[in-house]
Amino acid sequence: MANSLYPLFQTIATAPTEQALRIRFMDGISEYFGVQRWGIYLLNSDNGLTSVDAQGVSDTFVEQYQKFGKSVDPVLQYVVQYHAPAHEELVLPKGTWKQSELYQRCCSTYDHEHIMTGPIVGQGQLIGTVNFARIGHLPAFSQLDLASLGAVCTHFSARLAELRKQSLVVPNPFFKRLTPREVQIANLVAKGLTNAEVGAELWITQNSVKQALKRMFQKLEVSARTEMVAKLRDMLQP
């Protein structure tokens, strides 16, 4: 993990919109925690998903977790109860992680050797989570990781609350036309990645990227990547 979280705190604090906050967080978080899988799940008042930003996992995993894993996730249950970050070694008896239902149903298939989840809160309620996974033979998350994630979640929650209160801020209307996955693609395109490179980053095929871009061009009424990036520039990670 990086020595100082200050640059990440500044990135979070200066995000101009909620969409930009999510994108910047997703782009910058992995280097601080040494993770290969990470994501943000935001919830509505009925505890249903309103958005998912995920890196290193496929849409299939997200669907499988929502269908089979969420209800038996002991780490999430801790986070829901205490509004504090947790990892598997904190909430399960030593040596039982790989016998847990969550590991058997979801994590083993995707090589999630260690997981950690943190709370995103607002108005006294859990309104989302930050989710990390380490793969292969990497070590489990530590107490320092827990403390650091707690700090990050505090900053993220505070900035999200601020942005949601800024009723005078007019969001970029074009972003409303795109799905969360299309926003991820746009952000990678803005960084100069090819279709093949975008596909590799998001675990989708090159043809899926090509077809997504066609749909995005139609939605945004543009005919080229440069036009698309120009329309979305104020929302994309520099």
How many whole angstroms separate alpha carbon 99 and alpha carbon 104? Answer: 7
Stretch 35-59: mean pLDDT: 88
Q: Which residue has the higher pLDDT, 27 or 1?
A: 27
Name the residue ranges covered by the structural domains of the chain: 6-165, 173-235
- 51's CB contacts (< 8 A; 6+ apart) are 22, 40, 41, 42, 180
pLDDT digits (tens, 9 = 90+) for 133-157: 999 889 999 999 999 999 999 999 9
Stretch 87-94: mean pLDDT: 95
Mean pLDDT of the chain, nearest integer: 90
Written out in words, the top-level CATH class of the domain with range 6-165 is alpha beta
Q: What is the pLDDT of residue 1?
A: 46
pLDDT digits (tens, 9 = 90+) for 196-236: 999 998 999 999 999 999 999 999 999 999 999 888 876 66
Architecture of domain 173-235: Orthogonal Bundle (1.10)
Query: Taken in order 213, 216, 222, 225, is the CA torsion positive or negative?
Result: negative
How many whole angstroms separate alpha carbon 92 and alpha carbon 136? Answer: 20
